[in-house]
Chains A and B, each alone.
Chain A
Amino acid sequence: MDFDTSDLKQLFFEESDEFVELMESSLLELEHDPTNADTLAQIFRSAHSIKGGSGSLGMNEVMMFTHALETLLDQLRKGAMTADSDIIAMLLECVDHLRDLLDAARNDTSSPSSAALLARLEIIIDGGKIGQEKEVDEETFRKQVWEAVAAAQAEEAGETPKPAEPVVKPPSTLKPAFDEDAFRKEVWAAVAEAEADDAVKAAAQAPDKSLDELDKLMDEAAPAKPVVSEPVHDPAPHPTAVAAQADDPKKAAHAAEKGENQVLRISADKVDKLINLVGELVIHQSMLIDAAGPSPTPALASAVSAISQATRELQEKVLAVRMLPIKQLFGRFPRVVRDLGRSCGKQVNLETSGEETELDKMVIEGLADPLTHLIRNSVDHGLETPADRTAVGKPEFGTVSLRARHESGNIILEVADDGKGLDREKILKKAIDNGMVGADDQLTDEQIYSLIYQPGFSTAKVVSDVSGRGVGMDIVLQAIRTLGGSITVSSRPGFGTTFRIKLPLTMAIVEGLTVKVGNELYVMPLTNIVECIKPNTSDIHMLAGQGEMLNLRQSCLPVTRLATMFGVPTEVTDYKDGVLVIVEDGSRRAALLVDELIGQNQVVVKSLETNYGNVAAFAGATILGDGKVALIIDIASLPVLATGGTAYAVAA
């Protein structure tokens, strides 16, 4: 029985989380379109579903609260009231509170009191205005809500509502000093009268039963039929069961709606295991190709080719399983922008595009914090106040845009604002003041803007609650790095700033270039490689004894020998005998000397961290066709990229 309930509970929490998200985004839509019937219906249905589920699982706090919420929402959807901005603000508060209640139920901690919110809801439902809230006696109010709940359930059960006589009679023994226990006992007693189950009835009427036992009895009376993805059918005439039953036609309608795109809930673990297995398949399939040799028999050749084809497709499809549209990530930002705009006193419009762009789930999770930070920065620092904006001829509403798209094997995300742009001089001055940069150093705009990624760097005059503490941008950079991506920024003073994030489509598989250094093999991710050249010795210059530099067309790049960096003995000491791989991370570039290029292939990224640990300069390992392990170089973390062509260190 316990097992069944916990499965149901798990499902309930997952679905409720989604409903709450839906309620929030619908409420934000409602602000722009307060009379939209569909949106109103959607919000109502979400609250109703949460109420039904919470009731049948005995989560009384949640049920009581959603019931009150539902009452107001019903008024709105019937057109009896219009959702003005005050009401919507209140409803958003209610959504937050509902989240807290769900969390409390999920973690089995005590729920925050709903009394204040319920009181305000009551007033609005009664037709009062926001602000007319007066002191309400919590106990009396709770009694009223219980009555209302019981009356509503009676209504749903098909009994004609008798306003003068709700199914649950108000306790006649209500004393001034409210005794909650006695009240609840009375309620159960009254409920027991309605119960058809004699056993329960007798038990409930026993005066010495503790409330917990009564609750348990009620649970036991409702036969648990855990059918995970269908509406819960509960024939026992149990108060909350009644609600569930009445819910069925509504739930069925909801399920039919969902039926259009059949959705399966799968645990991420299962998918990860699948991906691992497919990775193994890829490796063994390439071993097979090697073993088939240079001249396989036609039969073998065609079989091997068919397997390769099928494996490639399987890999694509399985990886796609983990891909989710970025929409769910973008979904939380309208609220963030709205609240932030209000607290900063700025008018902000959030535009999004490319929500259907799909990303690996892990990547989406890793992006939540960095994107939030970038958006907050845009609103807080980038956008000017409405007054300042009109003063320079801009519209009052500032726009923050979030754009996502696929581009040659990568995902490009842009966070842009049409605010005042990055203040080049201010940043430079701050950097000089902090000793990050010498006063006479020649820096390109790009390099100056990159200074903002240094920890502790912030030119915000006022450290607000929101941002300005200077710990944000370096964390953003770190997070993007961890996802295997890079970030660049461009800005036009007076016009705005755009942050551009480039990410690989998936972290599990990497398109790599295998290179040989000495008698060791290493893999470099193709996304970081610009080109490979065979240099002449004359192209390399020693820079004042500090290091070597490559003169390549219009630019000078720092050079490093991988053999030296990795401590590998090699016979290739002269540049002309090896190959220079030009790599980049964001806007910084460098040249790496290797002995020779072996080939390009897709490699499955295996974690070094699980059993060993983090290794500087390496992002993981992979298994080559011969079963041997090769390390994958983490280009972004190579020290040589830290010296972006000049003598000081930019974001490492």
Chain B
Amino acid sequence: MTATISAPQEAKTQNDTNQFLTFQLAGEEYGLDILTVQEIRGFVPATRIPNSPDHVTGVLNLRGTIVPLYDLRKMFNLPECDYDQFAAIVVVNIGSRVIGLVVDRVSEVIAASTSDIQPSPDLGHSACQDAIRGILRHEEHLVILLDAVSLLEDDDSNLNLAA
């Protein structure tokens, strides 16, 4: 199942308007730069990789390519949950790497200018600090913006294996 991406609600000046795909994770709203999102799929079980780190759920077959699936809840040390029919996999494409991220549910696509993004407070946990690009206020709620590239770099466990 792939979701269609609807048009953004606001349109500001061309230069600094970015679009973000927002999704839910443990009751909080997160966002990813739409340019990094390749597609959205319904949740399918992945093939486990033996002796892999906890947050690596496994690998999937995406039209013939092997794509690793990461569990964001585990990456951010959030409590586990059983995924229901709304759970989805956000397929992210960065450079030449394609990865999948498991989310509770996908929300919508919003537009915001870079000036709306506030830096996130430093809560002292360096592990995922870099992965957070900033905080966005959108229609009365907060969206925590993630930086896809840092997410991958933070995950140094298997990248070291690749090195």
Partner of B65, one of A283, A568, A611, A627: A611
Q: Is there an interface contact between B50 and A629, defined as CB atoms closer than 8 Å?
A: no
Q: Which residues of A contact B64 (CB under 8 A)?
A: 276, 279-280, 283, 606, 623
B161–A629 CB distance below 8 A = no
Contacts of A562-608 to chain B: CB distance below 8 A: 565-568, 606-608
| With known contacts A565-B50, A567-B51, A629-B66, A623–B59 Cβ distance under 8 A | no
| Complex partner residue of B50 from A280, A568, A614, A630, CB under 8 angstroms | A568
What's the Cα separation between A565 and B67 when bound, in Å?
A: 23
What separation, in Å, do the CA atoms of A617 and B64 have in the docked complex?
22
Asked if B118 CB lies within 8 Å of chain A CBs, one says: no
Give the complex CA separation of A385 and B158 in angstroms: 51
* Distance of B60 from chain A, by nearest CB (Å): 7
- List, in ascending order, chain B residues with CB within 8 A of A566's CB: 50-51
Produce 1/0 per residue, A617-646, CB < 8 A to B: 110010100011111000000000000000
Q: How far apart sit A613 and B158, CA to CA, in the bound complex (Å)?
A: 6
Chain B's nearest CB lies how many Å from the CB of A482?
14
List the A residue with the shortest CB-CB distance to B47.
A629
- Expressed in whole angstroms, the Cα–Cα distance for A28 and B50 within the complex equals 54
Decide if B59 touches A621 in the complex (CB within 8 Å). yes
User: B99: which A residues are within 8 A, CB to CB?
Assistant: 611-612
User: B68 interface residue, CB < 8 Å from A?
Assistant: yes
* Residues of the B chain whose Cβ atoms lie less than 8 Å from the Cβ of A283: 64
Is B161 touching A614 in the complex (CB atoms < 8 A)?
Answer: yes
In the complex, chain B residues whose CB is within 8 Å of the CB of A567: 50-51
Measured between alpha carbons, how far is A621 from B96 in the docked complex, in Å?
19
Number of interface residues of A (CB under 8 A): 29
Judge whether A611 and B98 touch: CB under 8 Å.
yes
Instruction: Digitize B147-159: 1 where CB-to-A-CB distance is under 8 Å, 0 elsewhere.
Output: 0000000000011
Q: Which residue on B lies nearest to A607, using beta carbons? A: B66
Q: Is the CB of A612 within 8 A of B59?
A: yes
Q: A621-B59, A629-B60 are in contact. Are A615 and B98 (CB under 8 A)?
A: no
Which residue of chain B has the shortest Cβ distance to A522 in the bound complex?
B50
**Nearest CB of A to B151, in Å:** 14
A351 within 8 A of B: no
Q: Of residues A611, A617, A627, A631, which shows the largest number of chain B Cβ atoms within 10 Å of its Cβ?
A: A611
Contacts of A213 in B (CB 8 A): none
Mask of B28-47 contacts with A, CB within 8 angstroms, 1/0: 00000000000000000011
CB-nearest residue of chain B to A521: B47
The interface residues of chain A lying within 8 Å CB-to-CB of B161 are: 613-616
* Contact A629 B46, beta carbon cutoff 8 Å: yes
For residue B52, CB closer than 8 A to chain A, the reply is yes
Pick the residue among A276, A568, A612, A628 that contacts B61 (CB under 8 A). Answer: A628
- CB-defined interface of B45-84 with A at 8 Å, one 1/0 digit per residue? 0111111100000111100111110000000000000000
B162 at the interface (CB under 8 A from A): yes
Are B51 and A627 in contact, with the CB atoms below 8 A? no
In whole Å, how far is A628's beta carbon from the nearest beta carbon of chain B? Answer: 6
Instruction: Please tell me if A609 contacts chain B, counting CB pairs below 8 Å.
Output: yes
| A215 contacts chain B at the CB level, 8 A cutoff | no
- Chain A residues within an 8 Å CB radius of B66: 606-608, 610-612, 621, 629
**B97 interfacial by beta-carbon distance below 8 Å:** yes
**Contact status A611-B51, CB under 8 Å:** no
Minimum CB–CB distance from A579 to chain B (whole Å) comes to: 19
Considering only CB atoms, which chain B residue lies closest to A567 in the complex?
A: B50
- CB-defined contacts of B46 to chain A, threshold 8 Å: 629
A276 to B137, CA, bound (A): 45
Verify if A520 is at the interface (C-beta below 8 Å from B): yes
Q: Verify B50–A617 contact, CB threshold 8 A.
A: yes
How far is it, in angstroms, between the C-alpha of A283 and the C-alpha of B63 when the chains are bound? 11
Closest to B62 in A: A611
Contact status of A612 and B68, CB under 8 A, knowing A621-B59, A623-B61, A629-B59? yes
The reply to whether A613 and B162 contact each other, CB–CB distance below 8 Å, is yes
Q: Which residue of chain A is the closest to B159 with respect to CB atoms?
A: A613
**B60 neighbours in A (Cβ, 8 Å):** 629
B residues near A520, Cβ cutoff 8 Å = 47-48
List, in ascending order, chain B residues with CB within 8 A of A621's CB. Answer: 47, 59, 66
A509-532 at interface with B (beta carbon < 8 Å): 520
Please tell me which one of the listed residues B58, B61, B98 contacts residue A627 in the complex, with CB atoms under 8 A apart. Answer: B61
Q: Which residues of B contact A629 (CB under 8 A)?
A: 46-47, 58-61, 66
Contacting residues of chain A (416-447) with chain B, CB-CB under 8 angstroms: none
Q: How far is the CA of A610 from the CA of B64 in the complex (A)?
A: 12
Partner pick for B52 among A606, A609, A615, CB 8 A cutoff? A615
Tell me the minimal C-beta distance from B110 to chain A in angstroms: 28
Q: How close is A613's CB to chain B, nearest CB, in angstroms?
A: 3
Q: Are A614 and B51 in contact (CB under 8 A)?
A: no
Contact B67 A611 (CB under 8 A): yes
Q: Are B47 and A610 in contact (CB under 8 A)?
A: no
Q: Tell me, in angstroms, the Cα distance from A648 to B67 when the chains sit together.
A: 38
Kindly list chain A residues whose C-beta atoms are within 8 Å of the C-beta of B97.
610-611
Which chain A residue has the least Cβ–Cβ distance from B162? A613
Whole-angstrom distance between the alpha carbons of A614 and B66 in the complex? 13
**Interchain CA distance A80-B105 in the complex, whole Å:** 85
A610 engages B61 (CB within 8 Å): no
Residue among B59, B96, B98 with max Cβ neighbours from chain A (10 Å): B59
Q: How many angstroms from the CA of A614 to the CA of B159 in the assembled complex?
A: 8
Q: How far is the CA of A627 from the CA of B96 in the complex (A)?
A: 23
Binary contact track A520-555/B, C-beta < 8 Å → 1, others 0: 100000000000000000000000000000000000
Nearest CB in chain A to that of B51: its residue: A567
Could you list 17 A-B pairs, sorted by A, with CB under 8 Å? A280-B64, A520-B47, A565-B50, A567-B51, A608-B59, A610-B98, A611-B65, A611-B68, A611-B97, A612-B162, A613-B159, A613-B161, A614-B161, A615-B49, A616-B51, A623-B64, A628-B47
**Pairs A-B, 8 closest by C-beta atoms:** A613-B162, A566-B50, A629-B47, A612-B68, A613-B158, A613-B161, A606-B66, A621-B66
Known contacts A609-B162, A613-B158, A621-B47; 8 further A-B pairs (Cβ under 8 A): A276-B64, A567-B51, A611-B99, A614-B162, A615-B49, A616-B161, A617-B50, A629-B66
